[in-house]
Amino acid sequence: MSWIYLAVAIVFEIAFALGTNATKGFTRLWPSVFTLLAAAGGVFTLSLALRTIEVGVGYTIWTGMGSIGTVVFAALVYREKLTLPKLLSFLAIIAGAITLRLSSGL
């Protein structure tokens, strides 16, 4: 169940990052409310995941996968460019996450 919580936390992390851009410096009410709720949801579900997942593993996967998701969705939503260096960085993050997961023994 902890890995499901972590997956949900990652979705919240992506929503938080994308929402932050939409707030225009927290000057727009509803994007700001959405962003704050996403941040709270992400931290809450991450805390549930970390009950059984090691902090170093869970947090690193949360931020790494959140980063990848943010870049991918920013390309779709905000039309940001996906470049070869970004794609290679994704591969490095994914390889690191897999290695951490395998080394955690869970």
pLDDT digits (tens, 9 = 90+) for 94-104: 898 888 878 87
Q: Which domain holds residue 69?
A: 2-104
Q: Comparing C-alpha atoms, which of 59, 55, 46, 49 is closest to residue 12?
A: 46
Q: Distance between alpha carbon 87 and the CA centroid of its chain, in Å?
A: 16
For the whole model, what pTM was predicted? 0.86
Overall number of domains in the chain: 1
Q: Comparing C-alpha atoms, which of 20, 21, 103, 19 is closest to residue 61?
A: 103
pLDDT digits (tens, 9 = 90+) for 26-79: 999 999 999 999 999 999 999 999 999 999 889 999 999 999 999 999 999 999
**Other CB atoms within 10 Å distance of the CB of residue 92:** 10
